Structure 1
Amino acid sequence: MTLTASLTQVLALDDSSQVGHARRVAQRLAERLGFDEADAGRVALVATELASNVLKHAQRGALHLRALSRADGVAGVELLSVDGAAGFDRSQCMTDGFSTGGTQGIGLGSVSRSAQVFDLYSDDHGSVVLARLYPAGQGSDDVRIGVSQHSLHDDPACGDTWQVAFHGPLLSALVIDGLGHGAEAEQAALAGARSFAEAPFDPPQTVLERLHVDMNGTRGGAVAIAQFDATQGTLHYVGVGNIGATLADAQHSHGLASLPGIVGGQYRKSQVFDYAHLNHHLLIMYSDGLQSRWNLHTYPGLVHRHPAVIAAVLHRDFCRGRDDVTVLVIDLEFSHA
C-alpha cells in the first residue's frame, strides 16, 4: 500500500451563505469518489454541521477537505473544521440537543455517529474537529496518518509532495520541498516522488542517491526519508535541505537532523541517523512553509489526538503564509492497525 500526496482543499467560513457552499463541495467530492446518494448525503450533513458550528461558535474559520485511501482500496472523505476562537467544552458539544450558538443543535455526537473516525481538540487557541467518512458497511479500518498540504495562494501547482509506503511491519515516508514554488518546483518534487515509488524500502541512502540522479535537470529540492520497522521499533532517517522532522511521545520531543544541500543540485554529504524504542512515538515531518519553533507539549493532550488533528493544529498556528506547506504526522504505534 502506498499513500500519495493530495492537496487539502480549504473552504473559508466567515458568512452563513458559505455553509451551503461547503455542503455542496463536500457532497461533490464524495460523489466523485464513488459514494452512493445516501452516503454522499451523510457527508453533506456532516459538512453542514461542522461549518455551522464554526460560524456560530467562532464567527470565522475554515473547513478542510481531503480525499482518503485505505489498504482495501476504499476511498473516503476527510473533513476538518478549524477555528481560532476560545475552546468549547467537549462533553457539552457531544450531547445531542446542545447548540454552540444557534445551529440545529444535533450536537457533535451526531457527527461522531455519522463518521467512521471522529476526534476533536479544543483549547484557548481554538478548535479542530475531525470526521472521516467511508461508504456504509466499509468499516473503520483507519490509517493513523494525518496530512495538511497547501500550495501558496491556492496555486494548482504545489512544490511540496509526500508519500508513505507500507509493506508488512515496514513503513517508508518521504517529504520533498521543490526549490521555490509553482510549476517548476512541482516538477522537481514529482520527479523525486516517482523515483521514491520505484523502491521505497531500499536502504535510505540508496533511495536518496537515486532521487538525486532522477531530480537532476530540475530545480531540485529538500528531501527527507524516514523508514520505520514496527517489529523492531527502529527508525532510520536521512535528510538533505530544510525539511524539518520531530519524534515525540507523551513527555518529550526530539528533532531529527538534516544536512545542507539540494537534492538534484549539489550536496556534499548525507548521513543516516538511527533511532530505537519508538513504538509509542509520533513522527512529524514538515516543509519549511511551517515555522520550526513549535512545541507539541505546549498543547495539553494534543499528542494523544488523531494525527490529522495534530497536522491541522500545527498548520493553523505555525504556517508562514509565504510558501507551499506540508505537515505529515504518523502514529508509529498505530499506523499499521
Structure 2
Amino acid sequence: MTPSFSFPPATRHVRIDHHSAVHDAAEAARSLARQCGLPGAMPDQAAVLASELAGNLDKHAIDGSLYLQPLPLGGGLEIMAADRGPGMPELERCLTDGYTTKGTLGAGLGAVRRIATDLAISTRTDSGTLICARLTLPDEREAAREAVGILSLPAANEEQCGDAAAITDAADLRTAAVVDGLGHGPEAAEAAQAAVRTFRATAERPLTEIMTAMHRTLRHTRGAAVGLLRLNAGEAEYCGIGNVRAVALSPNEVHHRLTGQPGTVGWRMPAPRTHGIPLTAATTVVLHSDGIDLRWAHTPPAHFLRLPASLLATALVHGYHRTRDDATVVAAQPRAARS
C-alpha cells in the first residue's frame, strides 16, 4: 500500500492533559498507520504504542505530549513522547514487563519495547523524559534506525502549518530542507508545500541550484525563508535565504551557528551561497525555522549535545516552540554515521 496523505504532513500533536487524551492518541496512531499503508494488525500495534506512552504521561508526567507522524525516511511511522519530569530513575526496571509504581499491570514500556521496530529513550530526573518509538514493516527496519528527526507544528489556533520540511538520501549524501512560508495559514502552507515539491524533484543537485529552482517555483506565492543542508561523512553544506538557522553540535559543544542571507525565496533573493561545516561521526546538525526560540543554541542544556537526532528534534519542539509561530526542526547526522 502507498501512503494516502500529501507529503509532507505536519506533525500531529496530542497534549496529554486528561485521561481521555490517551484514547485520542491511540486513535490518532491507528489512523496514521493506515494512512502510512501499514497492513494487517500493524495499525492496532501503533495504537498500543501510543496508548502505552500516553498512559505513562497521564499517570506520571508533567506537561506531557505525544507527537505522531510518518517516518522521515522510509515507510512506517514514529511516535514521540515528551514531558518535563519527574523522569525515570530506574529506566531498565521501567522497561521490564510487570514493573509498576502505580499498582497497575505494568505492561507500559515493556510492551512498547516489544512492539517498536526501534526505540530511543532519554530520561533525567531534573528535566523529564523523551521517547521515540518507530514502527515499520520487517523489510524497512533500516529506515527505523536512521539518525534523523523532523517535527513540524502549526502556530497556536492555526489549522494548517506554514512550515514544511523534507529529507532525502542519495548515495552517501543526505540532503534536507526547512521551508518557512511567509506568515501563517493556508497561503503560507501553499508556498511551503510548493517549495518542498521542488526540493524533492531537485534534491540531488548542488544546493545553490535547488534554491534557485525553489525561487522560480515560489514567484507566484507569498514566498518563503528556506534553509538547505547537505551532509556527508566529513562535511556539511548549508545554504540559507531568510530566517532559517543551522546549528552544529558535538557531544561537548555547539560549534557552528549559521543564519541565512537576507531575502525572500520567490521575491527578492540574492545569489545563494553555501557555507561548509566540518563534521565528525558524532556531529549532529540542526536546521530550524524561527518558530523555535534561537536562544536554545546559545546555552543548550548539556544533555542536548548527546541526544540522538530524533530525540533532539522532539526536545526542541517541546521545549522551545514559540507557539505564536509555525515551528519546524530537522536534526540529522550523515548517513555514514548511522548505526
Q: Same fold (TM over 0.5)?
A: yes
Judge conservation of contact 2:73–2:168 (CA < 8 Å) in 1. Answer: no
- How far is the alpha carbon of 1:145 from its aligned partner? 1.1
Amino acid at match of 2:322: R
Judge conservation of contact 2:243–2:290 (CA < 8 Å) in 1. Answer: yes
When residues 325 and 98 of structure 1 are mapped into structure 2, their CA distance, relative to the original with a 3 A threshold, is same
Judge conservation of contact 1:56–1:100 (CA < 8 Å) in 2. Answer: no
> Which runs of 5 or more residues in structure 1 are unaligned?
none
- How far is the alpha carbon of 1:51 from its aligned partner? 0.9
Aligned residues: 330
Judge conservation of contact 2:180–2:226 (CA < 8 Å) in 1. Answer: yes
- How far is the alpha carbon of 1:107 from its aligned partner? 4.3
Counterpart residue number, 1:108: 109
Counterpart residue number, 1:47: 50
Query: In structure 1, how many angstroms separate the alpha carbons of the residues matched to 2:317 and 2:113?
Result: 23
Judge conservation of contact 2:291–2:327 (CA < 8 Å) in 1. Answer: yes
- How far is the alpha carbon of 1:165 from its aligned partner? 1.9
> Which runs of 5 or more residues in structure 2 are unaligned?
1-5
* Matches for 1:29-44 after TM superposition, within 5 Å: 29-44=32-47
Judge conservation of contact 1:56–1:103 (CA < 8 Å) in 2. Answer: no
Corresponding residue SS for 2:294: coil
Counterpart residue number, 1:311: 313
Amino acid at match of 2:92: S
* Matches for 1:121-136 after TM superposition, within 5 Å: 121-123=122-124, 124-135=126-137
- How far is the alpha carbon of 1:312 from its aligned partner? 0.9
- How far is the alpha carbon of 1:155 from its aligned partner? 3.2
**Which residue among 251, 254, 263 is the counterpart of 2:265?**
263
Judge conservation of contact 1:205–1:272 (CA < 8 Å) in 2. Answer: yes
Query: In structure 1, how many angstroms separate the alpha carbons of the residues matched to 2:46 and 2:250?
Result: 33
**TM-score, normalisation: structure 1:** 0.89
Query: In structure 1, how many angstroms separate the alpha carbons of the residues matched to 2:298 and 2:50?
Result: 28
Corresponding residue SS for 2:18: coil
Query: In structure 1, how many angstroms separate the alpha carbons of the residues matched to 2:280 and 2:207?
Result: 18
Query: In structure 1, how many angstroms separate the alpha carbons of the residues matched to 2:24 and 2:328?
Result: 26
- How far is the alpha carbon of 1:59 from its aligned partner? 5.3
Q: Deviations over 1:178-235 (max 9, x none)?
A: 11111111122223223222322222222222222221121111111112233xx122
Amino acid at match of 2:172: P
Counterpart residue number, 2:249: 248
Corresponding residue SS for 2:268: coil
When residues 114 and 51 of structure 1 are mapped into structure 2, their CA distance, relative to the original with a 3 A threshold, is same
Counterpart residue number, 1:78: 78
* Matches for 1:254-333 after TM superposition, within 5 Å: 254-295=256-297, 298-332=300-334
- How far is the alpha carbon of 1:265 from its aligned partner? 1.4
**Alignment RMSD (CA, Å):** 2.4
Tell me, yes or no, if structure 1 residue 176 matches structure 2 residue 184.
Answer: no
Judge conservation of contact 1:248–1:282 (CA < 8 Å) in 2. Answer: yes
- How far is the alpha carbon of 1:137 from its aligned partner? 6.4
- How far is the alpha carbon of 1:331 from its aligned partner? 1.9
Which deviates further from its counterpart, 151-160 or 250-259? 151-160
**TM-score, normalisation: structure 2:** 0.89
Corresponding residue SS for 1:250: coil
Query: In structure 2, how many angstroms separate the alpha carbons of the residues matched to 1:285 and 1:169?
Result: 19
Query: In structure 2, how many angstroms separate the alpha carbons of the residues matched to 1:70 and 1:277?
Result: 21
Amino acid at match of 1:213: R
Judge conservation of contact 1:14–1:61 (CA < 8 Å) in 2. Answer: yes
Instruction: Give % identity.
Output: 30
When residues 69 and 121 of structure 1 are mapped into structure 2, their CA distance, relative to the original with a 3 A threshold, is closer
Judge conservation of contact 2:62–2:86 (CA < 8 Å) in 1. Answer: no
Counterpart residue number, 2:237: 236
